[in-house]
Amino acid sequence: MATESLVEKQGEKKISWEAFVKQDVLNFLMQHNLQSITVDDGAGKKAVIKHTSKGDFSVQITSNEIL
């Protein structure tokens, strides 16, 4: 199982980067009562989620592409 990635497990569909950030990462942030979290896929995509003072969550997703 150590060689399997998150999206290669049998029976699971690959989800988009945006869906992963807005679901799994956001849920992790809320479950652990964190103020902010930054994730980077190592291939140019980055996301920052912050808990605002109003109680909302701000999600910023960026990507860099080499043309």
Please report, in tens digits, the pLDDT of each residue of the chain (67 residues total).
444 455 555 567 788 999 999 999 999 999 999 999 999 998 889 999 999 999 999 999 998 877 7
Domain ranges of the chain: 17-63
Order of all β-strands in the sheet with 57-63: 36-40, 45-51, 57-63
Amino acid identity of residue 52, one-letter, is T
Residue 1, both tokens: 């199982």
